[in-house]
């Protein structure tokens, strides 16, 4: 009995110490990889192109991060409030004459008293009752101007009820065309209810808050919210962002600054360059170049003329690398990575996976298909996302304290907005290659005991389903042979409120399983975007050395107490 009690005390102490060690397992590095706008079938479509009908049937027919060694979970993406603008902003911010909206809408939707508007209803999201699916189209221009295609009124950053009211008014005046498609009621819910934009979604990831659409780390009441990169710097680590669209876009911006409106690009740009929170920025959006590295009349929309000059002369503290060849050499390890790297890829608006010289960045499905460049088409001339991701890691990993890195495949979202299956697949394949490169680095130059890798999206986009999904609810796209595009249809040209997948591996990844907020009948348990912030923050937090010592002391005292008590009898 005496021996059993002693062993039991030792076992309890050991289990407490093991639990504490697991909880305190700190990540030296955290890498967050976002395929912006990728819904569940976006990943599937890329796998179908690569593997044909065998896609997802076994680990051999899916990317490595979707198989063994990685935990996979489901995540909700709704925002805190579907306001398109900060409170009090006028309709002129949306490109309409001042005073226009009050004649159509009694109250601006960004002032509607709907705090904590967002939610995800797993019952409505899976309602298979057949009914109307609302689609609003405007041949003259989008309600949201620079948000997405100019032919859609589906809410990217709006209150759905208000937009529906506005669309009804516009339809009555003959300005817009409205029609109803037949399909499961769940589609209508996923398209119209609690839809987030990338700013609110990114703020959830970076700050752990649910806020209004268009907010960059700003709370619903307009106050700035602390964000992850600030914590990273307090821990003495380096931080960086890599993106395939300008670094002033919402998703990269949330990891470097705070702003009440996502379209204040020069304010955001100035903060990211000058506030000292980032050590690596790699981005397109070069003021002096168009598609494929072709010079253009300078356009200082994303970087001011003075900041470009300061980057070039080094007075802002950065090493500017604006040569495609030099960025490639850094990514391949053929050239030393600067300690503080600003990689300005010499293209304008986007680094698409096949950015061709002399053409715009728009993907043309009539001449390009994934993995195929017809004769006479100039091939991709810029460093790709895998190369740029490695350039960032080579710079950041020089810090002995570790780093945080965001890698964004931004043009996945653009392709979904355009309902462009070839570009959607190609951008997703480029993202997958980037994840593969990062995994190779972890396994050869780091380890899964010190690096946390999270692969996910900020929201879904397009609701890309099978060709008969109007009568077969949630039918998957249909795969052809490997190397051919799957067939299917898009139900919207904008963001949706679908659950999205997340894969993770490394210290802290086990915490995701403890943060579930609901159960979906198709997907199972799910958490929210804000939980990604919580897990990253916890995994980065400095360990408390006294914790393990205290537990060991406690365990030792417990064992001693057993000995003393038993010896007295």
Asked if residue 548 and residue 532 are part of one domain, the reply reads no
> 371 lies in a domain?
yes
Residue 50 sits in the same domain as residue 15: no
Please tell me whether residues 262 and 317 are part of one structural domain.
yes
- The tokens for 17 are 């110490």
User: What CATH number does the domain containing 316 carry?
Assistant: 3.40.720.10
DSSP letter string over 57-93? SSGGGS-GGGSTT-EEEEEE---SB--SS-TT--GGG
How many alpha carbons lie under 13 Å from residue 310 in its C-beta half-sphere?
11
User: Does residue 100 lie within any of the structural domains?
Assistant: no
CB 146 within 8 A of CB 245: no
192 exposed, middle or buried (CB, 10 Å; 0-12, 13-18, 19+)? buried
Asked if residue 534 and residue 434 are part of one domain, the reply reads yes
CB count within 10 Å of CB 166 equals 20
Give the rounded distance of the alpha carbon of 413 from its chain centre.
10
Per-residue pLDDT of the chain (569 residues; tens, 9 = 90+): 444 444 444 443 443 333 334 344 699 999 999 999 999 999 999 999 999 999 999 999 999 999 989 999 999 999 876 555 544 444 444 444 444 443 333 222 333 333 335 789 999 999 999 987 766 544 333 333 332 333 343 433 333 444 455 555 555 555 444 445 778 999 988 987 788 889 999 999 999 999 888 889 998 878 999 999 999 999 999 999 999 999 999 999 999 999 988 889 999 999 999 999 999 999 999 999 987 788 899 999 999 999 999 999 999 999 999 999 999 999 999 999 999 999 999 998 888 766 655 444 444 555 556 656 555 555 677 899 999 999 999 999 999 999 999 999 999 998 888 778 888 888 999 999 999 999 999 999 999 999 999 999 999 998 999 988 989 999 999 999 988 889 988 888 778 999 999 999 999 999 999 999 999 999 999 999 999 999 999 999 845 444 333 333 333 434 333 333 333 34
Is residue 312, in this structure, part of any structural domain at all?
yes
Based on the fold, state whether residues 365 and 443 are members of the same structural domain.
Answer: yes
Residues 458 and 555 in one domain: no
Query: Domain of 552?
Result: 2-22+544-568
Neighbours of 355 (CB within 10 A): 27
- Residues 439, 563, single domain; the answer is no
Q: Confirm whether 495 is domain-assigned.
A: yes
- Domains of the chain: total: 2
Give the separation between CA 339 and CA 319, rounded to whole angstroms.
Answer: 8
CA dihedral 327, 502, 404, 393 (to 10 degrees): -30
Query: What is the token pair recorded at 501?
Result: 């997948």
3-state secondary structure of 169: helix
Q: pLDDT at position 99, please?
A: 45
The pTM of the full predicted model, rounded to 2 decimals, is 0.83
Tokens of residue 562, six digits: 């057993």
């Amino acid at each position: 009995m005496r021996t059993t009690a002693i062993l039991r005390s030792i076992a309890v102490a050991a289990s407490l110490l093991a639990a504490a060690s697991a909880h305190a397992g700190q990540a030296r590095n955290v890498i967050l990889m976002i395929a912006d706008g990728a819904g569940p079938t976006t990943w599937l479509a890329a796998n179908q192109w690569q593997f044909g009908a065998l896609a997802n049937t076994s680990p051999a027919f899916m990317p490595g991060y979707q198989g063994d060694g990685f935990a996979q979970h489901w995540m909700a993406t709704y925002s805190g409030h579907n306001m398109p603008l900060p409170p009090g902003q006028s309709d002129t911010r949306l490109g309409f004459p001042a005073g226009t909206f009050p004649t159509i809408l009694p109250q601006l939707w960004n002032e509607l008293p709907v705090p904590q508007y967002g939610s995800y209803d797993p019952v409505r999201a899976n309602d298979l009752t057949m009914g109307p699916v609302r689609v609003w189209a405007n041949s003259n221009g989008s309600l949201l101007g620079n948000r997405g295609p100019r032919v859609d009124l589906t809410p990217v950053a709006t209150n759905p009820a208000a937009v529906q009211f506005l669309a009804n008014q516009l339809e009555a005046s003959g300005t817009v065309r409205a029609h109803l498609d037949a399909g499961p009621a769940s589609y209508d819910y996923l398209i119209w209810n609690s839809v987030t934009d990338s700013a609110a979604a990114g703020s959830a990831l970076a700050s752990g808050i649910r806020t209004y659409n268009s907010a960059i780390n700003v709370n619903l009441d307009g106050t700035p919210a602390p964000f992850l990169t600030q914590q990273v710097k307090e821990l003495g680590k380096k931080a960086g962002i890599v993106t395939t669209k300008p670094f002033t876009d919402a998703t990269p911006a949330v990891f470097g600054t705070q702003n009440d409106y996502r379209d204040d690009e020069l304010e955001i740009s100035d903060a990211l360059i000058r506030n000292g929170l980032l050590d690596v920025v790699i981005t397109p959006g070069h003021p002096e170049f168009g598609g494929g590295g072709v010079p253009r009349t300078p356009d200082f929309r994303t970087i001011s003329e003075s900041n470009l000059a300061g980057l070039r002369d080094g007075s802002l503290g950065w090493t500017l690398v604006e040569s495609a060849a030099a960025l490639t050499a850094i990514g391949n390890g053929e050239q030393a990575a600067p300690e503080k790297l600003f990689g300005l890829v010499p293209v304008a608006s986007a680094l698409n996976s096949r950015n061709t010289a002399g053409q715009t960045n728009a993907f043309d499905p009539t001449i390009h298909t994934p993995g195929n460049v017809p004769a006479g088409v100039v091939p991709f001339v810029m460093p790709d996302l895998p190369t740029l991701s490695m350039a960032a890691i080579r710079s950041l990993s020089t810090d002995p304290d570790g780093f945080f890195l965001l890698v964004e495949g931004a043009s996945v979202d653009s392709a979904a907005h355009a309902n462009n299956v070839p570009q959607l697949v190609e951008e997703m394949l480029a993202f997958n290659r980037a994840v593969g490169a990062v995994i190779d680095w972890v396994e050869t130059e780091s380890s899964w005991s010190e690096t946390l890798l999270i692969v996910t999206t900020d929201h879904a986009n397009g609701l890309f389903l099978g060709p008969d999904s109007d009568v077969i609810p949630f039918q998957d796209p249909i795969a052809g042979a490997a190397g051919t595009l799957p067939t299917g249809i898009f139900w919207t040209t904008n963001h949706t409120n679908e659950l999205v997948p997340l894969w993770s591996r490394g210290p802290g990844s086990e915490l995701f399983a403890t943060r579930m907020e609901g159960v979906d009948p198709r997907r199972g348990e799910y958490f929210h975007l804000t939980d990604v912030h919580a897990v990253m923050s916890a995994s980065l937090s400095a360990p408390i050395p006294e914790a393990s010592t205290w537990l060991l002391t406690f365990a030792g005292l417990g064992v001693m107490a057993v000995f003393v008590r038993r010896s007295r009898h």
